[in-house]
Amino acid sequence: MKKIQSEDDLIKFIKRKSCSPKSPYGIGDDAALLKAAPNCVITTDFLVEGVDFKKGEDPKGIGRKVLGMNLSDLAAMGAEPGQALLYAAFPKKNSISSWRRFLKGWNELAKKYKVSLIGGDLSQADRWMIGAVCIGTVKKGKLFTRSKARNGDLLFVTGKLGGSILRKHLNFEPRVRESLFLRENFPVSSCIDLSDGLGLDLPRLLQSSRKGARIQLDQIPISQDAKRLSDKAGKSLIERAFQDGEDFELLFTLSPQYEKKLMQRWRKRFNTPLTMIGDITAKRKIECFIKNQKRSFPQTLWKGFDHFQ
Amino acid sequence: MKKIQSEDDLIKFIKRKSCSPKSPYGIGDDAALLKAAPNCVITTDFLVEGVDFKKGEDPKGIGRKVLGMNLSDLAAMGAEPGQALLYAAFPKKNSISSWRRFLKGWNELAKKYKVSLIGGDLSQADRWMIGAVCIGTVKKGKLFTRSKARNGDLLFVTGKLGGSILRKHLNFEPRVRESLFLRENFPVSSCIDLSDGLGLDLPRLLQSSRKGARIQLDQIPISQDAKRLSDKAGKSLIERAFQDGEDFELLFTLSPQYEKKLMQRWRKRFNTPLTMIGDITAKRKIECFIKNQKRSFPQTLWKGFDHFQ
């Protein structure tokens, strides 16, 4: 009766027992390639009332988030959104007006990113559980995965991290446009979306690529909301940036020769911040620096949001 | 605060509000075609503990059923199974051994029908909610939908109906092989899988095709388990066959010119029963017959399992 230690452990167990094919056609990236249609990737993510959002939350925010988190997974693969399925279990006594609000939030992103709803499944339960499946298209040779970071590549992150529970977790902008811009213009070597926090998602990317990294802690972009929260609670700003989760930003690697060009073109095109936070190394560990001085940090920094811890 | 009257009503509402494209690229069939890969169809179905199965049920049966009901949807489209995603929310205290049992059931069908697991999502909740997404491949011009039944076509049903709650709902065989045999050999004009019972799914097929039907009630194949249940409860055998749901059989239409050939070839190939139960008419209503004598039947026959009624 071995207990489940973490989400990643359970995923490994399922992968082993189910003979999943190798990534990118199997488990191990933010989305998986279809074998019968290698121009398509597919992903699913869902939310549970009482775990991922509070009872009584405005369904509009939930609708936006359910689609947004799946679009964020597509962005992590360099995929253009196309179609979606919607599945939901919810209390019988629910009214059409909750669904109207839900679809209002969903449609905000569906219209912006041209996502058609093509099917799904509905059932009842004593609390809401609601998810989406998204299918996106990728270009040959331009698929982003977690596994191809190279020594010397620079690590970039979009947006600002931490404190998402205050607002951003319900109204974040999935980095679809940023991802498509990168795909068209730069040979991104690896990418992941920050759904569980830099503290969990950076190690996931490095593990997939069998690499390590040097992280410049003073370069980590920290959100205003992380600062607001840190003022009240005992957590440091850097802990918030690493552990809060639900940033839905992109973390990606790129050869240093493109740094200047990337920064110039990005600033002209997007308001979304883009920050270089470190580089990839051959030693399979993460080293931290502040103003180029090596610092040791508690291992507890290297965790984020895990549903089973 | 309008209450939700039925699953079909809510689906119509969602379809209208979300500008879903027309079937088969949108909502309205057992699976939907991918726009970027029109050789692929996709479907999702999930189960909720306490609604679709009892707490304490052997996870092996659940694993088999979750995949099986999605494969049944693919079969309804004439699609060959390929890949799957798995999503689940479950209590934190759950052990690896439940997952081992679950995957044992899942793998029974995954191996038989060559389905690779390529991704998914995991989270916690106070009770199990578990679903799958399946992707299958179709052949050009050989996609089955609900909407193309023609006047004079005969209505066929595989297997035997009713009483699935006793055993079959956890160990049914999705009609994948039967569907592929039909696709290769006969111009099936419409098809649906019987997940909610003939009483709901036959009207769905007829509504999609804008047709009616004459049903020979004495021809409806009734399962032994329906008979066992009817002995104990007040329901008639025909009510069980129409309303019990979770038969996971195929209901399809075919021009009468193929009847003889179909029956001959089917019997040589499958042990699965195949029964002709009626024919399609232009008048948009369902008429019932017993030994060719018209009978009137209560409207209540025309319902099946609905999560919201």
pLDDT one-digit tens code per residue, B26-74: 899 999 999 999 999 999 999 999 999 999 999 999 999 999 999 999 9
Do A120 and B44 make contact, defined as CB atoms within 8 angstroms? yes
Q: Do B135 and A42 touch (CB under 8 A)?
A: yes
B244: enclosing H helix or E strand: none
Per-residue model confidence as pLDDT tens digits over B217-258: 999 999 999 999 887 777 889 999 999 999 999 999 999 999
Q: Is the pLDDT at B1 greater than 60, yes or no?
A: no
Chain A residues inside the 8 Å CB shell of B120: 14, 27, 44
How high is the pLDDT of residue B21? 87
Considering only CB atoms, which chain A residues are within 8 Å of B7? Answer: 122
Question: Using a CB-CB distance cutoff of 8 angstroms, which residues of chain A are in contact with residue B122?
Answer: 7, 10-11, 307
The reply to whether ipTM tops 0.90 is: yes
Report residue B198's pLDDT band, with 50, 70 and 90 as the boundaries.
very high
Which token pair is B249?
């059989």
> In this complex, do A26 and B85 lie within 8 Å of one another by their Cβ atoms?
no
Q: What is the pLDDT of residues A12-68, one digit of tens each?
A: 999 999 878 888 888 999 999 999 999 999 999 999 999 999 999 999 999 999 999
B245: chain A residues, CB-CB within 8 Å:
none
Q: How far apart are CA A49 and CA B125, in angstroms?
A: 8
pLDDT class of B143 with cuts at 50, 70, 90 = very high
| Predicted local distance difference test score (pLDDT) of residue B307 | 72
CB contact under 8 A, B40 and A36: yes
d(CA B69, CA B84): 12
Give me the pLDDT at residue A20, please.
Answer: 83
Give the list of residues 6+ apart from residue A224 with CB closer than 8 angstroms, or none.
A160, A163
Name the strand (E) or helix (H) holding A195. none
- Whether omega before A38 lies within 30 degrees of 0, making that bond cis, reads no
> From the CA of A95, how many Å to the nearest CA of chain B?
5
Q: What is the pLDDT of residue A307?
A: 73
Cα–Cα distance for residue pair B240/B227, rounded to 1 Å? 9
Residues of B in contact with A2 (CB under 8 A): 95-97
CA–CA dist A268, A263 (Å, integer): 9
Reported as type and span, the H/E element at residue B70 is helix B59-76
Residue A44 gets the label, from left (phi > 0), alpha (psi -120 to 50) or beta, of: beta
Return mean pLDDT, chain B: 93
Residue A98's pLDDT is what? 92
Chain B interface, best mutation among A121, A137, A140, A306, by max B CB count within 10 A: A121
Residue of A nearest to B37 (CA): A37
With 70 as the cut, is the pLDDT of residue B146 above it? Answer: yes
Average pLDDT over residues B81-107: 93
A297 to chain B, closest Cα gap in Å: 29
Residue numbers in chain A where pLDDT is lower than 50: none
Measured between alpha carbons, how far is residue A247 from residues A170, A224, B112, B224 in Å? 10, 13, 41, 55
pLDDT at A21: 87
Whether residue B204 is predicted with pLDDT greater than 90 in this model: the reply is yes
